[in-house]
Amino acid sequence: GEDVEQSLFLSVREGDSSVINCTYTDSSSTYLYWYKQEPGAGLQLLTYIFSNMDMKQDQRLTVLLNKKDKHLSLRIADTQTGDSAIYFCAESMSDYKLSFGAGTTVTVRA
Amino acid sequence: NAGVTQTPKFRILKIGQSMTLQCTQDMNHNYMYWYRQDPGMGLKLIYYSVGAGITDKGEVPNGYNVSRSTTEDFPLRLELAAPSQTSVYFCASSQNRVHHFGDGTRLSIL
C-alpha cells in the first residue's frame, strides 16, 4: 500500500475553510510537503514543514504536524475558486527522494 | 526564468515504438528525477540522478532508461513502448530538498 495516505476528494463552499489530511509512515522523514496541481500543469510547491516543527503558517495556509500520530494537515482559509486543484502530501526520504500520496481533489463550489 | 522544461508536451506512440522524453533545467541543480503519474495513484519515482554521470533506479524503473551526461539534461528513454506505460511523466530537479517540476509529458501508447 501507499506510504503516504490521503482522502481522495473534498468539496468545500467558497469562503469556508478547507482541511486536507495526510498520514505518513516513515518516522525518520525530516521534511513534509504540500504540493498543488492544477489541471494540465505540473506540481507547484505550496509549503513544507520541518519535522521538528508543529505548525507553520503562510498567509491563508496553515500546516499542522502531529509527529506522534504521523499526521499532517493543510488548512486553507477563505477558500476561493482558484483553490480548486489536486493537493499532494509528500514526505522526504533520506536521500532527497519524495514519496507522494495519491492526491486529494478539492472542488470549491459557489 | 525557465526552470524545468519538458518536451514534448503530448505524444501518441504505437506499441513497440521507442522515444525519448527530454528534460532540461537551468537552475544548476544536482538532483534530477523522473516520475510517472497515473490516475488516483500519486507520483511514482522511475529514475533519479544525484549529479552528472550518476543515475539510480526508483520504484518503477522497468521499461525505462536514463542518462545524465550534463548537469542540465536528464532524458528518459522508452525502448519498447507498452500500453502500461501510458501515463503523465514529470521531470523534476531539486536543491535544498525543494523539488521543482516541469509541466509534464502526456504519453499514450496504443
**Residue B51: strand, helix, or coil:** strand
Percent of chain B with pLDDT over 90: 89
pLDDT score of B80? 94
Assess B47–A contact: CB distance below 8 Å, yes or no: no
Categorize the per-residue pLDDT at A95 as very low, low, confident or very high, splitting at 50, 70 and 90. Answer: low
Chain A contacts of B35, Cβ < 8 Å?
100
Please list every residue in chain A whose beta carbon sits closer than 8 Å to the beta carbon of residue B10. Answer: none
Contact B104 A98 (CB under 8 A): no
Which residues of A have a CB under 8 Å from any CB of B? 2, 4, 8, 30-31, 33, 35, 40-45, 48, 88, 92, 95-98, 100-103
Residue B42 is nearest to which of A48, A97, A101, comparing CB atoms? A101
User: Does residue B83 surpass a pLDDT of 70?
Assistant: yes
- Residue B41 three-state SS: coil
The residue with greater pLDDT, A10 or A39, is A10
B45, containing H or E segment:
strand B43-51
Contact A102 B40 (CB under 8 A): yes
CA torsion, ordered B56, B93, B8, B72, to nearest 10 deg: -90
Name residue, grid cell 522544461: B5
| B42: contact with A, CB 8 A cutoff | yes
Confidence label for A9 from pLDDT (cuts 50, 70 and 90): very high
Indicate the average pLDDT of chain B.
94
Q: B40 — contact with chain A (CB < 8 Å)?
A: yes
Residues of B in contact with A4 (CB under 8 A): 42
CB contact under 8 A, B90 and A43: yes
A98-109 residue pLDDT tens: 889 999 999 999
Q: How far apart are CA B14 and CA B5, in angstroms?
A: 25
Q: 3-class secondary structure for B4-31?
A: EEEECCEEEECCCCCEEEEEEECCCCCE
Residue A60 has pLDDT above 90, yes or no: yes
As a whole number, mean pLDDT of residues A80-95 equals 89
HEC secondary structure over chain A: CCCEEECCEEEEECCCCEEEEEEECCCCCCEEEEEEECCCCCEEEEEEEECCCCEEEECCEEEEEECCCCEEEEEECCCCHHHCEEEEEEEECCCCCEEECCCEEEEEEC
Instruction: Answer whether residue A1 shows pLDDT above 60.
Output: no
* Residue B83 three-state SS: helix
CB B31 to CB A98 under 8 A?
no
